[in-house]
Amino acid sequence: MLVVEGVLRIPGTEGHYDTGWGLYQALNKNCRLHLLSHTWTEQDIALWLTKRHITGHQSYLHSPEPGPAGRLEALQRIRPQRIGALVIESDPACAAAELAAGWSTALITSALQGPKQPDALAIRPWDDLAQAVERQHDLRLIPHAPEQP
């Protein structure tokens, strides 16, 4: 499942992300790819995709509303086909809700997007996470003196 807004299409425009285009092409060759959008109807998205020669995906799902609730409702419609399913998402809040609902999720961001709110990208950098894990591991290796009564 590839979310159109923020992954394939630049939100609020007719433009597309080159990265999303490449990702679509790569996944479409080897996977049963479904597209999801809350912005456009099936006819609108079909026209946009056809203009860009983006074809071959399995289906298009229209989300009834933006945000996590709408995404989860749309994902429920393909749940029987979800073996090995991966949701490629651009919204951190939606990604968190999808993970909580049991979906494997990849969060993709673009320098063109920028945060929607000041804390939208309050995700710890990978190096910080790796250092924290290493520090916890080192602390476990340090012998601790027995507690004294």
Amino acid at site 41: T
The pLDDT tens digits for 19-64 are: 888 888 888 888 888 888 888 888 888 888 888 877 778 778 888 7
In the chain, which ranges are continuous DSSP H helix? Answer: 18-30, 42-51, 68-76, 92-100, 126-141
Sketch the domain layout of the chain as residue ranges: 2-118
pLDDT band at 145, cuts 50/70/90?
A: low
Q: What does the pLDDT read at residue 120?
A: 45
The pLDDT tens digits for 17-30 are: 888 888 888 888 88
Return the CATH number of 2-118, one of 3.30.930.10, 3.40.50.150, 3.40.50.1000, 3.30.2130.10. Answer: 3.40.50.1000
Are 93 and 68 within 8 A, CB to CB? yes
Q: What does the pLDDT read at residue 69?
A: 92
